Amino acid sequence: MSYQIIIKPSEHTFTVEPGETVLEAALRQGLSLPYGCRNGSCGACKGKIVQGIVNYGRYNEETLTNTEKQQGLALFCCAQPLTDLIIESREVDAIKDIKIRTMPSRVQKLERVAPDVMIIYLKLPANERLQFLPGQYIDILLKDGKRRSFSLANAPHDDEFLQIHARNYAGGVFSEHVFLHMKEKDILRFEGPLGSFILHENDADLPIIFLASGTGFAPIKSMLEHIFYTENTQGHPRKMTLYWGVRTKADLYLEDLAREWARQHHNFTFIPVLSDALPTDNWIGRTGLVHQAVLEDYESLVGYHVYACGSPLMVKAAYQDFTTLKNLPATHFYSDIFVPSVSVSV
């Protein structure tokens, strides 16, 4: 049987059909609840069950603890209603009018920018464009029915090609295909745009700290290029700092671009951080954990917005330390995590 869901505080209502999660049903009916991974790993969709009962589904127990469940929290990407529900969740209004589409694309260009990072440029069919918001991602649809998620690295206004950044992981079936077999003119199908890791235009004058690890730089590149573009057309500069954490200097695969941004925009600062610099790197910049660099640079994060993207460990550590040690309001921390998809023998 179907169940009715009421969202607080908006009072929006929707219906969940058998087998659907709360998130799936909301998205199907044009209500954009926050989400990122859609597999219970990131916690972006976490909200409160005010009234009713759910099956919590399968999820990462570090992302939703037993204590949080006792407090009424659930991951809406996993939870399935067992009764009518009243839930408490913010809504991402800017996404609701964007249609999620399944489309073919052609590999226009492959650019190997680091030993283990490839930039893939995708060309859509003639007269087609994908409407998306900076920070969103697409799911590449594989022939075996599986999906691989990649953030869009180009800004929405620069949409002749969709740009994704792929890292080569040991055991990653798709990533190994990219590096060993993919060639220009190959056809890929994808679904998108997806995700609620987007720029929030409210409090537009507040300074932003962007925090990236590895290829978590991709959606932040989209956000920054969008902001630079709207600054040029609307004239509303805000102070922004990008901390990009990688292992070695070679992993700063678009370092020149980030430094060029800093030269062109007086309100933007770029701070690369290396965790395992090689002797041959001759590195004289910041070292250590990237979120630790932020902790060292700011006495307080009150009045800031933080956008963090990268490994689960980095994102979770940044949230914990920024909110507890530097008084960052939890509602000012926006995040997306990258979880490698690898083949596992059982």
| Distance from C-alpha of 95 to C-alpha of 310, rounded to nearest angstrom | 22
Classified by CATH at the fold level, domain 208-337 comes out as: Rossmann fold (3.40.50)
Spell out the alpha helix ranges (H) of the chain. 22-28, 66-70, 173-180, 217-234, 255-264, 290-297, 312-325
Question: What pLDDT, on a 0 to 100 scale, did the predictor assign at position 92?
Answer: 76
Topology classification of domain 101-194: Elongation Factor Tu (Ef-tu); domain 3 (2.40.30)
Per-residue confidence (pLDDT) for residue 343, from 0 to 100: 39
As a whole number, mean pLDDT of residues 240-256 equals 98
* Mean local confidence (pLDDT), 43-61: 94
Domain boundaries, the chain: 3-91, 101-194, 208-337
* Collapsed DSSP state (helix, strand, coil) of residue 108: strand
pLDDT at 90: 84
- Supply the pTM of this predicted model: 0.81
Residues with Cβ within 8 Å of residue 63, at least 6 apart in sequence: 40, 41, 42, 43, 46, 75
Looking at residue 5, its pLDDT comes to 98
pLDDT per position as a tens digit, 98-145: 889 999 999 999 999 999 999 999 999 987 888 899 999 999 999 888
The architecture CATH gives domain 3-91 = Roll (3.10)
Please report how many Cα atoms fall inside a 13 Å half-sphere around the Cα of residue 289, on the Cβ side: 13
Look over the chain and give the mean of its residue pLDDT values, rounded to a whole number.
91
Tokens of 341: 């998809």
308: pLDDT strictly greater than 70: yes
State the pLDDT at residue 41: 84
Task: Spell out the residues 6+ positions from residue 68 whose beta carbon is closer than 8 angstroms to its own.
Answer: 46
**204-222: pLDDT as tens digits:** 688 999 999 999 999 999 9
Pairing of strands 85-88, 3-8: parallel
Q: How far is CA 53 from CA 47, 85, 104, 271, in A?
A: 14, 7, 40, 46
Residue 232: per-residue pLDDT: 63
Least confident span in 85-99, 150-164, 322-336: 85-99
